[in-house]
Amino acid sequence: MAVLIDNTDDEEVRRICAAHGDRPDALLEILHELQAARGWLTDDALRAVAHILNISRAEIHGVVSFYHDYRRAPPPRFVVKICRAEACQAVGSEELAKHAEATLEQGDDAAVEAVYCLGNCALGPAVMIDDTLYGRVDRVKFDALCKKYASGKEHAS
C-alpha cells in the first residue's frame, strides 16, 4: 500500500530527492540540501525521505544521529566555533572558550562548539561564527562580535 505524501512541505522533499535521482546512496546530500532549505530536519521530512528512497527510518536516524552537523531542532541565531587545537590553546583559546560559554549562557540565542582546527593557526585564537572566520580573538573582540551577531548584523568585521 502506497503512502500518499501530499502536504506542501513534502513537495520540497520530493523535489530534493528527485534532483538526486531518488537514490538511497545520495542520502547525505539529500539531507544536507533539505537542512539548508529549512534550517533543520523535521520528523515529517525524514519520514518522507525514507518513503521516497525506500529505506527505513532507522537507517536515516542512524545517519542523522552519527553526523553532528545535522540539526533536529531549529538552529540558534548564530553558532560560535572556537578552535581548541594546540596552536590556539597556546594563545588563549581555553580561556576564551570559558568566557564564551559563560557570556552566551546569559540568554543570547547562540551555540558554542569546540572544534579542533579552523586552519587559521597563525592567527589564533581562531573563532568561526556561522561561516565567517575571525583571528586573534580576545574577550573584547569576542564580545563585540557576539553583540553584532545577536543584533542581526551578521558578518561583522
Per-residue pLDDT of 107-118, as tens digits, reads: 557 889 999 999
Residue at 130: amino acid letter: D
**Statement to judge: residues 96 and 136 lie in one domain:** yes
**Statement to judge: residues 98 and 146 lie in one domain:** yes
What digits encode the pLDDT tens for the residues 26-45?
Answer: 999 999 999 999 989 999 99
Q: Is the dihedral of CA 36, 41, 45, 50 positive or negative?
A: positive
Residue 71 lies in a domain: no
**Statement to judge: residues 88 and 139 lie in one domain:** yes
Full domain range(s) for residue 42: 8-66
| Beta-ladder partners of 132 | 129
> What is the pTM (predicted TM-score) of this model?
0.66
- Give the DSSP per-residue string, 53-76: HT--HHHHHHHHHHSTT--SSPPP
In this predicted structure, the answer to whether residue 145 has a pLDDT above a threshold of 80 is yes
Residue 111 lies in a domain: yes
**What mean pLDDT comes out for the span 77-106?**
92
Contact 142, 99 (CB under 8 A): yes
In this predicted structure, the answer to whether residue 147 has a pLDDT above a threshold of 70 is yes
- Say what the pLDDT of residue 3 is: 47
CATH number of residue 123's parent domain: 3.40.30.10
Residue 50 lies in a domain: yes
Contact 99, 139 (CB under 8 A): yes
Contact 132, 96 (CB under 8 A): no
Quote the number of domains for the chain.
2
**What mean pLDDT comes out for the span 62-91?**
93
Question: How many Å from the N-terminal Cα to the C-terminal Cα in the chain?
Answer: 56
Contact 133, 126 (CB under 8 A): yes
Cell 500518499 found at: 4
Tell me which of 6-10, 13-17, 53-57 is least confident.
Answer: 6-10
In this predicted structure, the answer to whether residue 106 has a pLDDT above a threshold of 70 is no
- Say what the pLDDT of residue 99 is: 96
